[in-house]
A = this chain, B = another copy of it.
Amino acid sequence: MKLSPIEENYIKSIYYLQAKKGNVNTNSLAAHLETSAASVTDMMKKLKRKKLLEYKKYYGFRLNAAGNLYALEIIRRHRLWEFFLVSKLGMQWEKIHDIAEQLEHVSNDELIKKLDDFLGNPKTDPHGDPIPNEKGVMPVLRQIALKDLTIKKNAMVSSVSNQTPQMMEMLNHYKIKLGSHIKVTKQFVFDGSLQVKIDKQPECIISSMGAKNIFVYDN
């Protein structure tokens, strides 16, 4: 089934609010989507007709299995595009969300599959949020700061917690990208700096400041 971008936005918002608060009501969904409660009621009837959620007048609504799966598909597209915008086009975080909101509605299974492969099958978006797989399964990841990574354990760069020009300069210099393979080869107790191997590059040293702000998943 293919929904309109508007319907997709409803599904996505319900999913988020449900994940955050357990249940969603008409008013909170209206607030989240910046629309009226009346519009929400109308749409709930429609999405019930389309069998994406349970809905009983005055008794709230809830995504069913199909609705959940659809939401995860949208989130998958959104997060893959966000990854693309940052890792391939080098866009800044603040700018990518709105663009990904547009791109997420482009629907073509082969496109998303190929995009995923092209990006190296990332497990999280640039903010560190997990990307559901094709079947709608969110990977369970342990994300830790690089400074806490067990020595000699392979890990992957998942996100970076600040995006100052100084930080970007450093990442750039070390050729650290989202998705980069990374391993700590030595720790210096003296100043907390680390010797690390990034992808296939020769080893280099990262300061404790840097190692605090770079996040990786090690599973």
Residues of A within 8 A of B (CB): 85, 88-91, 95, 98-99, 102-103, 105-108, 110-111, 114-115, 118
Contacts and interface: CB of A to CB of B under 8 A. Distances in A.
Q: Which 9 A-B pairs have the closest CB atoms?
A: A89-B114, A102-B106, A99-B108, A89-B118, A99-B111, A103-B106, A88-B118, A91-B114, A89-B115
Chain A interface mostly helix, strand, loop or mixed?
helix
- Copies of this chain, complex-wide, total 2
Contacts of A85: 111
15 contacts: A85-B111, A89-B111, A89-B114, A89-B115, A89-B118, A90-B114, A91-B110, A95-B108, A95-B110, A98-B108, A99-B106, A99-B111, A102-B105, A102-B108, A106-B106
Given A89-B111, A89-B114, A98-B108, 20 more contacts: A85-B111, A88-B118, A89-B115, A89-B118, A90-B114, A91-B110, A91-B111, A91-B114, A95-B108, A95-B110, A99-B106, A99-B108, A99-B111, A102-B105, A102-B106, A102-B107, A102-B108, A103-B103, A103-B106, A106-B106
Contacts of A118: 88-89
Candidate in A89, A105, A115 with the most chain B CB atoms within 10 angstroms? A89
Contacts of A91: 110-111, 114
A99 B127 CA distance: 27
A177 to B, nearest CB: 13
Nearest to A88: B118
A111 B85 CA distance: 8
Nearest to A103: B106
A111 B81 CA distance: 12
